[in-house]
C-alpha cells in the first residue's frame, strides 16, 4: 500500500482531471442529449431524422472508436487542438449525449398524451408544450437512468488515458509501469478514487429522486 501513500499527489492530479473530464462532458452531454430528444419528438421530419441517425450511430459505436475519431481522425481533417483533453471531451460528450437522448425520450413517452393535447388546446405552441409541460415531467421521471449514464460516463472517461490524456487511469498505468512489484496496490488505489466520484453520484440519485418524484 506504500505505493498509494507515496504517490498521493499523482493520484490527486489524476483524480482532478477525471473529475474535470466527467463534469464538463456531463454538462455538455445533458444539454445536447435533451436537445436531441426534443428534436426526436418534434413535428419537423428532418430534425427527427437527424436526431435518430445521430443517436443510432453514436449509441452503437464503441467508445474507443469515438475517441479514435476525435483524437486522430479530426486532426487529420484539419481540426486541431492544442490539448488532447479537448478531443476527450468531444468524444465523451458526443457519445454520452446519445444515451441521454434515449433516456429523455423514454421520459417524454411516459408523459400521457392527454397532457400535450390539453396544452395544445389552450393555444400553446410546440416549444411551450415541450418546455413547460412535457420536459419538466419527463426529466423528473428519468433521474435514475440519467444518473446511471453519468456514472458510466465517469468510468468511460478512463478511455482518455489511452488517448494521450493523463487522468486517473493514465497515472495508474504510469505507476504500474514503474512499480512492477505493486501493481495490485496501484490498481486498488485507482479504483478507490473512481468510487470517490461514483458512489456519491449514486447517493445523489436516490436523494434527488425522492425529492422530485411525481406521484402518478
Rounded Cα–Cα distance for residues 26 and 32 (Å)? 10
**Would you count residue 183 as binding another protein (CB under 8 A)?**
no
Which of residues 126 and 164 has its CB atom nearest to another protein in the complex?
Answer: 164
Sequence-distant (≥ 6) Cβ neighbours of residue 144 within 8 angstroms? 205, 209
The label of the residue with cell 483524480 reads: 15
Q: Is the distance from CB of 18 to CB of 6 less than 8 angstroms? A: no
Kindly indicate which of the ranges 46-54, 55-63, 169-177, 202-210 contains the residues binding another protein, using the contact rule CB under 8 A.
169-177
Applying CB under 8 A, which part among 56-64, 149-157, 166-174, 187-195 lies near another protein? 166-174
Which of the residues 48 through 87 are near another protein (CB under 8 A)?
72, 75-76, 80-81, 84
Q: Are 97 and 28 in contact (CB under 8 A)?
A: yes
Q: Is 120 in the site for another protein (CB under 8 A)?
A: no
CB of 178 to another protein, least distance (A): 5
Helices of type H across 111-182? 113-121, 126-128, 135-141, 143-156, 168-178
Binding of another protein by 128 (CB under 8 A)? no
Binding site for another protein (CB under 8 A): 72, 75-76, 80-81, 84, 162, 164-166, 170, 173-178
Amino acid at each position: 500500500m506504500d505505493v498509494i501513500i507515496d504517490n498521493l499527489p499523482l493520484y490527486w492530479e489524476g483524480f482532478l482531471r477525471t473529475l474535470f473530464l466527467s463534469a464538463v462532458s456531463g454538462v455538455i452531454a445533458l444539454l445536447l442529449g435533451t436537445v436531441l430528444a426534443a428534436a426526436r419528438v418534434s413535428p419537423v421530419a428532418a430534425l427527427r431524422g437527424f436526431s435518430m441517425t445521430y443517436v443510432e450511430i453514436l449509441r452503437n459505436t464503441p467508445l474507443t472508436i469515438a475517441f479514435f475519431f476525435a483524437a486522430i481522425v479530426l486532426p487529420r481533417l484539419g481540426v486541431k487542438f492544442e490539448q488532447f483533453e479537448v478531443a476527450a471531451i468531444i468524444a465523451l460528450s458526443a457519445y454520452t449525449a446519445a444515451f441521454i437522448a434515449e433516456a429523455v425520450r423514454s421520459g417524454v413517452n411516459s408523459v400521457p398524451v392527454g397532457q400535450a393535447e390539453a396544452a395544445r388546446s389552450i393555444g400553446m405552441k410546440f416549444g411551450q408544450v415541450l418546455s413547460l409541460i412535457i420536459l419538466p415531467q419527463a426529466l423528473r421521471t428519468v433521474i435514475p437512468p440519467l444518473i446511471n449514464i453519468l456514472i458510466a460516463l465517469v468510468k468511460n472517461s478512463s478511455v482518455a488515458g489511452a488517448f494521450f490524456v493523463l487522468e486517473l487511469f493514465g497515472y495508474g498505468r504510469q505507476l504500474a509501469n514503474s512499480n512492477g512489484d505493486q501493481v495490485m496496490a496501484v490498481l486498488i488505489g485507482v479504483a478507490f478514487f473512481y468510487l470517490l466520484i461514483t458512489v456519491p453520484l449514486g447517493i445523489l440519485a436516490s436523494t434527488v429522486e425522492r425529492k422530485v418524484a411525481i406521484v402518478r
